[in-house]
């Protein structure tokens, strides 16, 4: 069976730069033999976490919305690609709500000490983070990185690689930067081959 990678798009623009670069990374992962399921996060109907803490006792969330099918998907995947623009020095709101709703995984892993991720998958799951920012400041990605590190820990899907592109306000269109598109393809390909290899060694 092909390794399954979930690709989360955090930008609200389906044809924007984040989307373009994510699609290149997806091409790479597919070339490496993976099945890739892309999730357009801003188009999901989902509420932010209301801290009802049903997930302290149960393996899912009590709120019924588009997050429902995301839990089995995030449990069963072999790898993750997250592509997001920087907004107000951090993760865009809708993607942040998606991440917060993964408290389901946090409670299982850290409170009940019983991760929802099958034991054999915990060591092999890997994440590629892609992020782009308008400005060119030294701390542009600090907020994104600290949130994504926590998200990857919660999901038992280690943060293995990243592609961080700054200064998009001046670059404007990533199509004008074939080297960056090629790098995205290669990083997607590398993620796919690394996961495939570790699955075969299991
Ligand atoms: C609401 C909002 C907040 C933003 N905040 C930042 C920011 O704090 N730092 C930054 O470098 N760029 C910021 N940007 C710029 C985006 O990161 C940049 O335009 C990015 O290329 C958007 O990618 P997309 O067109 O694929 O969505 C912001 C853009 C928006 C719309």
- Predicted local distance difference test score (pLDDT) of residue 197: 94
Give tens-digit pLDDT for 40-92: 999 999 999 999 999 999 999 999 999 999 999 999 999 999 999 999 999 99
pLDDT of 101-151, one tens digit each? Answer: 999 999 999 999 999 999 999 999 999 999 999 999 999 999 999 999 999
The alpha helices in 32-141, defined as continuous H runs, are: 70-76, 93-100, 103-106, 119-122
Ligand 1 neighbour 135 (Cβ under 6 A): yes
pLDDT of residue 54: 98
**Sign of the alpha-carbon torsion through 116, 118, 122, 127:** negative
25-48 mean pLDDT:
98
Beta-carbon count within 10 A of 202 CB: 8
Query: Can you name the CATH fold of 4-9+18-201?
Result: Rossmann fold (3.40.50)
Q: 63 alpha carbon to ligand 1 midpoint, in Å? A: 30
> CB neighbours (10 Å) of residue 54?
15
| pLDDT tens for each residue of 139-158 | 999 999 999 999 999 999 99
Residue with CA at minimum distance from ligand 1 atom 19: 134
Cβ 109 vs Cβ 116: under 8 Å: yes
Judge whether 99 and 157 are in contact, CB under 8 Å: no
Return the pLDDT at 160. Answer: 98
3-class SS at 32?
coil
The band of 202, judged by pLDDT with boundaries at 50, 70 and 90, is: confident
Verify whether ligand 1 is closer than 6 Å to residue 104 (CB atom).
Answer: no
Nearest residue by C-alpha to atom 8 in ligand 1 = 88
Kindly report the length of the chain. Answer: 202
């Amino acid at each position: 069976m092909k390794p399954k990678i979930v690709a989360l798009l955090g930008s609200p623009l389906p044809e924007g730069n984040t989307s373009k670069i994510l699609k290149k990374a997806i091409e790479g992962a597919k070339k490496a033999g993976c099945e890739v399921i892309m999730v357009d996060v801003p188009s999901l109907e989902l509420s932010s976490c209301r801290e009802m803490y049903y997930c302290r006792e149960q393996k899912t969330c009590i709120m019924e919305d588009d997050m429902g099918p995301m839990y089995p998907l995030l449990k069963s995947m072999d790898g993750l690609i997250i592509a997001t623009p920087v907004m107000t020095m951090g993760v865009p709101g809708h993607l942040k709500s998606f991440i917060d709703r993964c408290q389901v995984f946090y409670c299982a892993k850290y409170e009940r000490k019983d991760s929802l991720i099958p034991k054999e998958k915990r060591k092999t799951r890997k994440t590629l983070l892609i992020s782009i920012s308008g400005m060119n400041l030294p701390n542009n990605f600090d907020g994104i990185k600290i949130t994504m590190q926590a998200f990857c820990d919660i999901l038992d899907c280690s943060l293995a690689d990243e592609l961080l592109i700054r200064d998009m306000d001046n670059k404007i269109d990533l199509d004008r930067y074939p080297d960056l598109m090629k790098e995205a393809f290669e990083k997607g390909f590398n993620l796919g081959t690394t996961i495939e290899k570790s699955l075969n060694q299991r």
